[in-house]
Structure 1
């Protein structure tokens, strides 16, 4: 161990270059983790805020809420204490008198529904054509009292309240009652009853009948089937795992080449009575020190990037997960250094000295 540290102090440039490469690998891993977390949160934050247990969709919708077409009377098939209808629409919002358009996810539910967010300013939805907006939309210039329109619909909506940050499908959310959203989606055609919805959200429930062809999904299963969610997470996580393997390979190759270059030195050490285990320990120590330093630097840079990232950038740091990735990178580096064990063990002192 002491020999390894002493060599690192002597060969500063060589080991600094490898540490720099490992910093870049760690930085890419942590940034990808932040992007994966941001995209995950951006897709599902509104769903998490429902604090629901089950989602009921049309059985023919293939677990896709946007493909699920139901009506409010489907609620009669669901028996439970807290049951909420929900309708969704992906559209754009613009303030009357402004040409600035913002992509949003519009959600409709009953005024007293348990999934209706609690307002932090203003008041809750009380009648048709009233909406409450997320903090994300306030940050983009929409405020309480503004008159807005959604899409190409001419209906004037009034912002009466706001709630905390909330996104669905990477877009800021706004809530209104079902009648208002039905009017928006109808685009000028008469709205018929029962009103159309996409899903039924519950905290605890069961089917009491199934006249409306319902399928019950646990909330986690529902989230995994959100459009694009699983594909995004799988792609980014695969890239992260590939970088773990790359870290192992880089350390392994570097240490193997150094071992070949230092065969004569290791031969002298063996003649002096220093065994293979102690020589290998010095190599492992070098890998561990470099990986710890590089991971620490990578973490600090990533936290700094997270602090200055634009509000529109989907970036969220999950510190327990980052801790797991940091430990994994260190272990991968140590494992890579162990690949030199066989070469060190086979060094013949007499041959190496010659």
Structure 2
């Protein structure tokens, strides 16, 4: 460690460049992880808000909410601790000045998927909706009358709720009477409506009894089958994994070049009786110090960047994940240094000093 630290102090510019490269790589890894988490939250916020264990869909739906259509009487709650009916429709909503892609969720106020209201009030009459707070950033407000694409009916925002986006689009919560009117032009009596899913809470989903035309899936499986969810996460994850490899390769190349430049010095040190093991430990220690400094600086810069990003950027940092990625980056950097260690071991003192 003494030799490694002294060399770093005596060659500040050279090793600052190495730290800078590692800092940029780690910064990109941390930011991509935050972007992956943010995009993941955009897709499943509304589902997480249910705090449910499973979802009942039709067998032919391919686990897609919009393709699942059934009657309210198709499930009576058998085997579940609690359940809620859910209807869904997508639409482009406009308040005259602004437009937004939205999902309209039809629910019953007395069931557990009824969202909390952070501003305004709950819907009570037909045509009233509670909207996700992200719409406020797009120019929508309580009291706005909404026009919907291809639908003559109007909706009125009476309140806002937090963390209610589905498939990256804000959700409008309303009662089933409103949803049925939007879909079919007229409301129906409660119990006669069509639903897209039953959201259930149960300690054992296997105990839930449904007809053969229906299926029960756990909430995580339902989320993973949201359009684009898995593909998006896999893409960003592969980018992060490749950056780990790139980090190891970059540091290995830097250290190998530096080692080749110091072959004669290592040769003299070996001739003086300093063992290859000691020199190898020095290189490993030096690599650890460089990678640790680069990763820590990258981590700090990423957290600072997060404070200045606008709300429109879907970044959410999971500090446990970032800690794991930091440890992995340091480990792969140390592993990459073993190429230089092999070079040091093979140095012949006589040849290195020109003997």
What is the TM-score of this pair, normalised by structure 1? 0.93
Q: Per-residue CA shift, 1:7-61, capped at 9, x if unaligned?
A: 1122222211121111111111111111101100000111111100011111111
Other structure's SS at 1:244 match: helix
In 1, the alpha carbon distance for the partners of 2:309 and 2:75 equals: 43
- Cα distance, 1:156 vs structure 2: 2.1
Aligned to 1:116: 114
Aligned to 1:131: 129
Aligned to 1:230: 230
Q: What does 1:86-165 correspond to in 2, within 5 Å?
A: 86-95=86-95, 98-165=96-163
- Cα distance, 1:240 vs structure 2: 0.2
In 2, the alpha carbon distance for the partners of 1:34 and 1:117 equals: 26
Aligned to 1:331: 331
5+ residue gaps in structure 2? none
Does 2:166 match 1:168? yes
Aligned to 1:184: 182
- Cα distance, 1:217 vs structure 2: 0.5
Aligned to 1:69: 69
User: After TM superposition, where is structure 1 displaced by more than 4 Å over at least 4 residues in a row?
Assistant: 190-193
Q: Is the 8 A contact 1:75 1:85 kept in 2?
A: no
Stretch moving more, 150-159 or 18-27: 150-159
Stretch moving more, 70-79 or 253-262: 70-79
- Cα distance, 1:257 vs structure 2: 2.0
Does 2:11 match 1:11? yes
In 2, the alpha carbon distance for the partners of 1:91 and 1:315 equals: 26
The alignment yields a C-alpha RMSD, in angstroms, of 1.8
- Cα distance, 1:77 vs structure 2: 6.9
Q: Per-residue CA shift, 1:81-124, capped at 9, x if unaligned?
A: 311111222222222xx231112222111121201112123322
Does 2:43 match 1:29? no
Q: Is the 8 A contact 2:131 2:171 kept in 1?
A: yes
In 2, the alpha carbon distance for the partners of 1:265 and 1:305 equals: 42
Number of residue equivalences: 349
Stretch moving more, 264-273 or 233-242: 264-273
What is the TM-score of this pair, normalised by structure 2? 0.93
Does 2:234 match 1:246? no
- Cα distance, 1:192 vs structure 2: 6.2
- Cα distance, 1:316 vs structure 2: 0.8
- Cα distance, 1:235 vs structure 2: 0.3
5+ residue gaps in structure 1? none
Aligned to 1:59: 59
Q: Per-residue CA shift, 1:125-155, capped at 9, x if unaligned?
A: 2232111112212333322222222223222
| TM-aligned CA distance change 1:209 to 1:64, over 3 Å | closer
- Cα distance, 1:209 vs structure 2: 4.0
In 2, the alpha carbon distance for the partners of 1:133 and 1:87 equals: 16
Q: Is the 8 A contact 1:104 1:173 kept in 2?
A: yes
Q: Is the 8 A contact 1:4 1:283 kept in 2?
A: yes
